[in-house]
Amino acid sequence: MSTSSDWEKQFTQIFNHAVEKYRKGHTKASGLFEAKEVEFLKSIGATEQEIFDFVEDHSGNPEDPSLDMILKVTAVRRDYFLNEQKGKHSSHLVSVDQLPAKDSSVEGIGWLPRIIPKAEAKLRGEMPPELMYGCGGDRNFFRTNNVDAAEFLKKVWSAKGDKAAVIEWVKTKKSS
């Protein structure tokens, strides 16, 4: 069995290789990863599309999202996949149309009603190709509210559907 360090090294190599390919003109998820890389991504609960989205944004600005943030978010998804889902992929995808609007807010905190179900979908591996956890809007939410992307995922996981607990936690983080 691989240690955390082993999977992180392998993920980083795959990610950096994909960034190189992207910068050389391969700007679609399809074919960006070799078959053995796709299998590795599946083994940690990741999809080609979600990692492509990180590759695309990182290629434009390596600091936002940083590789560290991407690794931490992927680690939380991996842990959820292995521990909660016992390595079994969900066959369900959330519908973007069912998410709260981008301009929605709760208790004066914009984007929060939208990012909670996105985080739940990310944890379960139910993100449709047109949706990204950690997109520019999410990263703005994290910065504005003093919240770490991976820490937010962990909070949503531990809240087990209790949105009020997540809202209270974000209010605490925002004021710190």
Residues 110-160 have pLDDT tens digits of: 999 999 999 999 999 999 999 999 999 999 999 999 999 999 999 999 999
Q: Do residues 101 and 39 both lie within one domain?
A: no
Helix, strand and coil in the chain, % to nearest 5:
60, 0, 35
Domain boundary among 57, 89, 121: 89
Q: Do residues 69 and 6 both lie within one domain?
A: yes
Mean pLDDT of 60-66: 91
As beta bridge partners, residue 106 has 109
- DSSP one-letter code for 88: -
Domain boundary among 72, 89, 106: 89
Mean pLDDT of 82-107: 97
Indicate the pTM of the whole model: 0.94
Question: Residue 148 to residues 70, 122, 173: CA-CA distances in angstroms?
Answer: 11, 15, 10
Domain hosting 30: range is: 1-89
Q: Do residues 70 and 27 both lie within one domain?
A: yes
